[in-house]
Structure 1
Amino acid sequence: MTTDILVYLAAFGGGFLGAAFGALFAFSFVGITLLAGIAIAISTGDASWISLISFGPFFGPHISFAGGVGAAAYAYRRGYLSGVRDIATPLVSLAKPDVLLVGGLFGVGGLIVHDIVSIIPWLGTHTDLPGITVVISGIAARLIFGKTGIIGTNSEGLTGSAKFRPNDKDCWVRYQEGWGNAAILSLGVGLLSAWATVALTQAFPEAAGSVVLLGFGVSATSLVFLTLGAAVPVTHHMTLIAALGAANFLTITGSPLAAVLIGTCFGIVSGLAGEAFSRLWQIRGDTHVDPPASAIWPMTVVVLAIAGLF
């Protein structure tokens, strides 16, 4: 685990900034800085920008995004924020310093959880650490500040499997919901992300560990437009897992075509997993528990576990 006090101070600042910007805006900066970091890695072979800025204390999702989510849950509980599951509002607009401080504390908590998971045998090296941390942090925020529990009741009084059916009040991304929509969207963006990973890995092998993140970076960057009201899709769980699958199976098979097709299949499964998690706990509660992160960490386990068999 990290013992450098400067890193914890930086994590507090990252969570604070995530709250000030709002979780969704803060996450879009992961993408923006990641695209810059990939360019740096291709040019120099050095991925330090990515590890320190995009996935470090500055904009790492487990710190900045988690800080924004935790602060929004706190603001909702205090009555400062009226929207259920609102992660788009820049919380600095509330003019409540305590909200920003809570964001900082969740940033520190995210760093601690990230480091604890990283030392768990096997899991720590076979999952997406920011993703699993975002989920744990989101569940913690719901338990601490929410009123519904992890999985709440259906607002229409439905029970059984119907309880998890989206409606106009309880939904995630209304225009992309549905199993068919999720599968088709995952097919398209997953295919492109898998191809880009294979093509760039072959072109810039010294930056292979960075170019695999291109699709994720584009997906994350696009969410700034979602925050501004444009109906863009949420796809980073699709593009990241498709790229991860393609990268691993390019090494295993030696075939670019096989790698792209296998990666695309993993991307489709991840898209469906995101839809499932949105129904399981995102729309069944009053605070945000991130569906893409909920899909990313177990799908990373699946991809790496299957790849490890070869």
Structure 2
Amino acid sequence: MAVELASDAVLLADVPLQVGYEPGSIGDVIEALSAPEIWLGAAAGGAFGAALGALPAFIFTGFLVLAGVFGGDAAAGVGVGLGFGPVFGPHISFAAGAAAAAYAAKKGILQSGFDYHNGKDITYALGSRPDILAVGAAFGLFGVALEQTLRHLAVPTDPIAFTVVASALLHRVVFGYSVIGVVSSKADGYFDMSPFEREDRREPGQAIADGGMAVEERLAVEPWLPNMYQWSHVATIGLFAGLASAYATLQTGSPFIGFGFSAATLLFLNLGVEKIPVTHHMTLPAGTVYLAAIAPGGAVLAGMSPGAAVAIAGVFGLLGALIGEAFQRIFYAHGDTHVDPPAASIFITHSLICLLVVLGIFQTAVWVPGFAG
């Protein structure tokens, strides 16, 4: 019996086909950064974040994103783009607000009564002091320069989230803080949160105090969210936040709706309501993964049913939560200023999504530079 060879079309149909990487160029970067208005907007946005405080500025971002999502197709590019743009984007206003808090604490200006080092108090409005606004403006300029460079070079990650983390590490260097932080002798390594549970205090000489707190008055370990650092708690909220975000994306078609809701709910946290979870690093990757999983194509997880896609997105919500917690235990809990765990988690999870596109698991990374489509 003769062997019948498969046709070229059949063979090609068996090959996972996914969005190919589309690189950017230095020319694209130069063109984007040659517009003077984005520099002026970034300086203003940085000053805005410094004046209001990082967290209030970020909450404002959340409401702008929601306005864009619910404004319909015609308005989506306006509200969402404005929320992530050169004035109100987190890489501008939030990152600059965090830098301004670090500066103000170093100078002894920020005396908010915060339980941790005052440099971590991102809820506090710093007002209209020219030096504080200038710091905010400077970090706003850094934010737009790095974010636009990453975006137009098509670096396969979330350029906004990456810039938020880079800006925080930069402000630690510029203002003389430890980049990672100093692990107290009361803790058994970076991941040990038990000194916080015991309310152990630091010993003199272990860390630099801010202007309003002696070193020995500081907790030995300062977890980012005192009510949400146990691994089981973090994983559980991550799973359910991811599922909720994916369902909202199913209803609206927007990968950003969960992020908008998560950011907006932080209004209550800023107002002092305890135990409000922080979830935007869970909801954003979940919304992205939902759309990646339902996208048609030849990838392993392409063309999934809505139910299956929601379930997969829930797993990414859980993953985003765990990555954020791991990051805070290294960079936040032992440090003196705010380095944002959600931003770190977001750029890591979206880099992972891009890797899964390369491996033929997902068809597309939806909106992430280099693998959008």
State the TM-score, normalized to the length of structure 2: 0.75
Which residue does 2:7 correspond to in 1? Answer: none
CA apart distance, 1:16:
0.3
Which residue does 1:44 correspond to in 2? Answer: 74
Deviations along 1:245-267, one digit per CA (max 9) or x if unpaired, are: 11101111231111101111011
CA contact (8 A) 2:62 2:264 kept: yes
Calculate the aligned-residue CA RMSD, in Å. Answer: 1.7
Report the Cα distance in structure 1 between the residues aligned to 2:194 and 2:133, rounded to whole angstroms.
34
CA contact (8 A) 2:228 2:277 kept: yes
Report the Cα distance in structure 2 between the residues aligned to 1:111 and 1:97, rounded to whole angstroms.
21
2:121 to 51, 72, 86: 86
Which residue does 2:48 correspond to in 1? Answer: 17
Q: Which moved more, 1:81-90 or 1:25-34?
A: 81-90
Which residue does 1:295 correspond to in 2? Answer: 345
Deviations along 1:225-281, one digit per CA (max 9) or x if unpaired, are: 111101211000001111111110111123111110111101100100011111010
Q: 1:260 to 1:17 in 2, by over 3 A?
A: same
Counterpart of 1:304, as a letter, is C
Report the Cα distance in structure 1 between the residues aligned to 2:224 and 2:76, rounded to whole angstroms.
37
CA apart distance, 1:174:
0.7
CA apart distance, 1:79:
1.2
Counterpart of 2:66, as a letter, is L
2:96 to 57, 62, 67: 67
Which residue does 1:207 correspond to in 2? Answer: none
Runs of 4 or more above 3 Å deviation: 159-166
Q: 1:164 to 1:294 in 2, by over 3 A?
A: farther
Q: 1:196 to 1:17 in 2, by over 3 A?
A: same
Report the Cα distance in structure 2 between the residues aligned to 1:294 and 1:60, rounded to whole angstroms.
16
Report the Cα distance in structure 1 between the residues aligned to 2:288 and 2:41, rounded to whole angstroms.
29
State the TM-score, normalized to the length of structure 1: 0.90
Q: 1:166 to 1:289 in 2, by over 3 A?
A: farther
CA contact (8 A) 2:258 2:280 kept: yes
Which residue does 2:278 correspond to in 1? Answer: 234
* Count of residue correspondences: 293
Q: 1:245 to 1:291 in 2, by over 3 A?
A: same
Report the Cα distance in structure 2 between the residues aligned to 1:163 and 1:75, rounded to whole angstroms.
29
Counterpart of 1:87, as a letter, is I
Q: Which runs of 5+ in 2 are unaligned?
A: 1-28, 112-117, 200-218, 296-301, 362-373
Answering whether residue 139 of structure 2 is matched by residue 106 of structure 1, we say yes
Which residue does 1:158 correspond to in 2? Answer: 187
Counterpart of 2:136, as a letter, is G
The share of aligned pairs that are identical, in percent, is: 39
Question: Aligned ranges for residues 266-277 of structure 1 at < 5 Å?
Answer: 266-277=316-327
Q: Which runs of 5+ in 1 are unaligned?
A: 202-210
CA contact (8 A) 1:61 1:134 kept: yes
Report the Cα distance in structure 1 between the residues aligned to 2:142 and 2:191, rounded to whole angstroms.
35
Which residue does 2:287 correspond to in 1? Answer: 243
Report the Cα distance in structure 2 between the residues aligned to 1:17 and 1:282, rounded to whole angstroms.
24
Deviations along 1:44-64, one digit per CA (max 9) or x if unpaired, are: 26513321x101122100001
CA apart distance, 1:130:
0.7
CA contact (8 A) 1:85 1:286 kept: yes
Report the Cα distance in structure 2 between the residues aligned to 1:88 and 1:292, rounded to whole angstroms.
16
Counterpart of 2:69, as a letter, is I
Report the Cα distance in structure 2 between the residues aligned to 1:192 and 1:162, rounded to whole angstroms.
29
Report the Cα distance in structure 2 between the residues aligned to 1:253 and 1:178, rounded to whole angstroms.
36
CA contact (8 A) 2:240 2:317 kept: no
1:262 to 312, 318, 321: 312
Counterpart of 1:276, as a letter, is A
